[in-house]
Amino acid sequence: MKSGQIHEAMEILTEAVRYWQTPAVTIVSQREGDPFKVLISCILSLRTQDRTTGPASARLFALADTPEKMVKLLPEDIEKAIYPVGFYRTKSVTILNICRTLLDSYQGKVPDDLDELLKLKGVGRKTANLVLTLGFCKEGICVDTHVHRICNRWGYVLTKTPEETEFALRKKLPRQYWLRINDLLVTYGQNQCTPISPKCSSCPLVDMCDRVGVGKSR
């Protein structure tokens, strides 16, 4: 994909994703408008499919929807609520630790600064950027496995890790797409540009895509 084609690609994807399921964490942000719930949903979503993340988030927030309420729960209470998300036992401890830190160091509020978010144990660049973009509508580029894979598959960047992709996109991607690229490419990656055997024959971007690394496709 040539640099100048990114505008057309984003326009096409914006239309295409209307017919697919919105990512679970995005739904939480749209419904709740609460950075804390976005943060916790992000933690739950790691290595977990959306069909599990959404209901698990709802069950947990029915028990506790603020850091103050969350720290009153036992790890076992959180585990039961979020099961079967991936690594649910580890995540219950992570959630409690984050909530204690928010209460001790941030007056119970989720910080709206990337560096401060990264100080929270268990929060990496992907989660921190997603909290910024979905929780605060502030500039950030959230690069998960879909964004990393697709941008390299397009030939738009040439990187080896999601972190490298984030910094490459910060240099190359027009700022108007920073907040939207994760939503668009996660939805596109789940439904069209799948990790294995992508649906190239019906892809609206096939003529722009370099198809780097694509062997078998549909």
Domain chopping of the chain, boundaries: 3-21+141-202, 24-135
Task: Give, as one character, the DSSP assignment of residue 5.
Answer: G
Alpha helices in the chain (DSSP H): 6-16, 24-32, 35-45, 50-63, 67-70, 75-82, 88-105, 114-118, 125-130, 145-154, 162-172, 181-191
Give, in order, the Cα–Cα distances in Å from 78 to each of 56, 65, 84, 93, 123: 10, 12, 11, 9, 18
Catalytic residue among 37, 50, 91, 126: 126
Predicted TM-score (pTM) of the model is: 0.92
CATH classification (class only), 24-135: mainly alpha
pLDDT tens-place string over residues 17-74: 999 999 999 999 999 889 999 999 999 999 999 999 999 999 999 999 999 999 999 9
Please state the φ and ψ torsions of residue 97, each to the nearest 5 degrees: -65, -40
Catalytic residue among 37, 50, 144, 183: 144
**Residue 68: strand, helix, or coil:** helix
**Is 138 known to be catalytic?**
no
CATH fit for domain 3-21+141-202, picks 3.40.50.720, 1.10.1670.10, 3.30.499.10, 1.10.630.10:
1.10.1670.10
pLDDT tens-place string over residues 96-129: 999 999 999 999 999 999 999 999 999 999 999 9
**Is 144 known to be catalytic?**
yes
